[in-house]
Amino acid sequence: MSRYILALDQGTTSSRAILFDRSGNIIQMAQQEFTQHYPQPGWVEHNPNELFDSQAVVAAKCLRQAGVTGSEVAAVGIANQRETTVVWNRRTGAPVYNAIVWQDRRTAGFCDSLREQGKACLFAEKTGLVLDAYFSGTKVRWVLENVPGAREQAEAGDLLFGTVDSWLIWNFTKGAVHATDPSNASRTLMFNIHTGDWDDELLELLSVPRSMLPEVVPSSGIMGHMHPEFLGHSLPLAGDAGDQQAATYGNACMLPGMAKNTYGTGCFLLMNTGTEARRSENNLLTTVGWNCGYGLRYALEGSVFIAGAVVQWLRDGLQIISDAAEIEPLASTVRDNGGVFFVPAFAGLGAPYWDQYARGAIVGLTRGVTRGHIARAAIEAIALQTLDIMDCMKKDSGLPLSTLRVDGGASRNNMLMQCQANVLGVPVERPMITETTALGAAYLAGLAVGFWDSEEEVSALWKLDRRFEPAMDEERRAELLHNWHRAVGRAANWIE
């Protein structure tokens, strides 16, 4: 009898594999970082072969370290960094260019030109997205326009496009399956979230041949089988979701009005809106949450481009800490931010500003400012960016927020979680298992093969670790927000 579900969590900086048991507990985990490529300012790339190789290595390592064989695994689920774009040759399986990462800004100018042509409303209406370099469609076009011979190969039907989940599925099935799920498809600027299919009008505007695109299959359901060479057994690939939708599912936000925030490289706040694709009037995204075989479920989303990455910058760029875990004790050396505000717009500003030309700024510096003040301002910046999104989300959804569930690496930072509760004015709940991205992928896969019987069963597995109650008076909160928005104004539209 199969005892485990294996989740593959292919992220922006590392590939991970996590083995879960029937109670949703982590049995074993393996992780491997991979190379980040920055060929030009604003460009971010990954080597697609390194993405797959690292994921295959950690999958095997995870089982080996757990002393588990492939025959004991009921199914495999995949969660992935979204929007990151891979184009490869369907005959050879070789990528024609590096993967262009979601953070990459090289297509900002083309997005501007589409906006000037009056196409922004069309894309928003059909895809729920804003015209931004963040999404996959303009990245595919860039590859076809800039890689010698790529356009001709694509028109001849020889090239395939996929977000990272599709690339993994293709390789793990030895080229037998080219598929994605609706949550990933909804991040491409090419998928109509109302019809549930690729949209020919949008494909024409982006000059992307339909023959390149993967089949869109349910997020929970057997889409193919992993070749036995990888884990010694032909395992069903039965769950697939973009990392943020997977985290929403793993945090058991399965009812309309429930919301979670993931604190990773970026910050991603999603609110379940059920069967209704609510159009945002406040610059948020309307996205597909998942499809478990009973139709599309939708969410409102706000994305912060730089969250945990600001701590990495303090470590690697500014070098005021040597380890990410040092930021909380350093920030605790000061009583408050000393008037310092940090806007980490290293790659522009995401929701609700969508300013491709904003850049990072630290304002309010005086001779009395220390490393501790900058560290505290960085922590506050993550919480304040989240607040901006939640304010818009409540307006768009018409639904009150009673609590915010959290996950991701930075959710272990107690100062950040308390700051988040303070500025939101609602409790923040951190679960026992914060690896909810992988857990969501595991749930989707397990439900598809009967490892778990129902969503009610997996929802009941959610367990509270700590609840952070708001503890800031309204006057102080209003002052913090006022100065934060002044600082955002200083960073806005910096690149001319």
Helix axes of 436-448 and 243-250: crossing angle, nearest 10 degrees: 80
Distance CA 78, CA 80 (A): 7
Distance CA 386, CA 167 (A): 31
Which whole-number Å values give the CA distances from 459 to 188, 225, 253, 440, 462, in the listed order?
29, 27, 8, 11, 6
pLDDT for res 397: 84
Domain count, the chain: 1
Position 62 pLDDT exceeds 90: yes
Q: Categorize the per-residue pLDDT at 221 as very low, low, confident or very high, splitting at 50, 70 and 90.
A: very high
Binding-site sequence positions for sn-glycerol 3-phosphate: 12, 82-83, 134, 243
pTM: 0.88
pLDDT in tens, 13-49: 899 999 999 999 999 999 999 989 999 988 999 999 9
Binding-site sequence positions for ATP: 12-14, 265, 308, 312, 409
pLDDT for res 306: 87
pLDDT for res 387: 93
Position 409 pLDDT exceeds 90: no
pLDDT for res 61: 97
Is 233 part of any domain?
yes
Is 193 part of any domain?
yes
Is 28 part of any domain?
yes
Is 112 part of any domain?
yes
Give the mean pLDDT of the chain: 94
pLDDT for res 2: 83
Q: Categorize the per-residue pLDDT at 441 as very low, low, confident or very high, splitting at 50, 70 and 90.
A: very high
Binding-site sequence positions for ADP: 12, 16, 265, 308, 409, 413
Buried b (16+ CB within 10 A) or exposed e, 133-168: bbbbbbbbbbbbeebeebbebbeeebbbbbbbbbbb
Range of the domain at 153: 4-244
pLDDT for res 293: 85
pLDDT in tens, 308-329: 889 999 999 999 999 989 999 9
pLDDT in tens, 238-274: 999 999 999 999 999 988 888 999 998 888 899 999 9
Whether residue 369 contacts residue 338, with contact meaning beta carbons closer than 8 Å, is answered with yes
pLDDT for res 103: 86
> Which of 31-45, 288-302, 342-356, 436-450 is predicted with the least confidence, judged by mean pLDDT?
342-356
Average pLDDT on 401-417 reads 90
Contacts of 33 (CB under 8 A, 6+ apart): 13, 14, 54
Q: Categorize the per-residue pLDDT at 461 as very low, low, confident or very high, splitting at 50, 70 and 90.
A: very high
Average pLDDT on 434-448 reads 94
Is 194 part of any domain?
yes
What CATH number does the domain containing 32 carry? 3.30.420.40
pLDDT for res 318: 92
Position 150 pLDDT exceeds 80: yes
> Which of 18-22, 404-408, 466-470 is predicted with the least confidence, judged by mean pLDDT?
404-408
pLDDT in tens, 338-369: 999 999 999 888 888 888 889 999 999 999 99
Of all residues in the chain, what percent carry a pLDDT higher than 70? 100
Binding-site sequence positions: 12-14, 16, 82-83, 134, 243-244, 265, 308, 312, 409, 413
Q: What share of the chain is helix, strand, coil (3-state, %, to 5)?
A: 40, 25, 40
pLDDT for res 398: 83
Residue reference for tokens 């015209």: 131
Average pLDDT on 121-142 reads 94
- Give 242-307 as a DSSP string: EHHHHHHHHTT--STT-EEEEESSSEEEEEEEET--PPPSSS-EEEEEEESSS-EEEEEEEEES-S
Position 1 pLDDT exceeds 80: no
Q: Categorize the per-residue pLDDT at 303 as very low, low, confident or very high, splitting at 50, 70 and 90.
A: confident
Is 401 part of any domain?
no
Position 335 pLDDT exceeds 90: yes
Binding-site sequence positions for glycerol: 82-83, 134, 243-244
> Which of 145-149, 345-349, 455-459 is predicted with the least confidence, judged by mean pLDDT?
345-349
Is 11 part of any domain?
yes
Q: Categorize the per-residue pLDDT at 188 as very low, low, confident or very high, splitting at 50, 70 and 90.
A: very high
Is 197 part of any domain?
yes
Average pLDDT on 39-60 reads 95
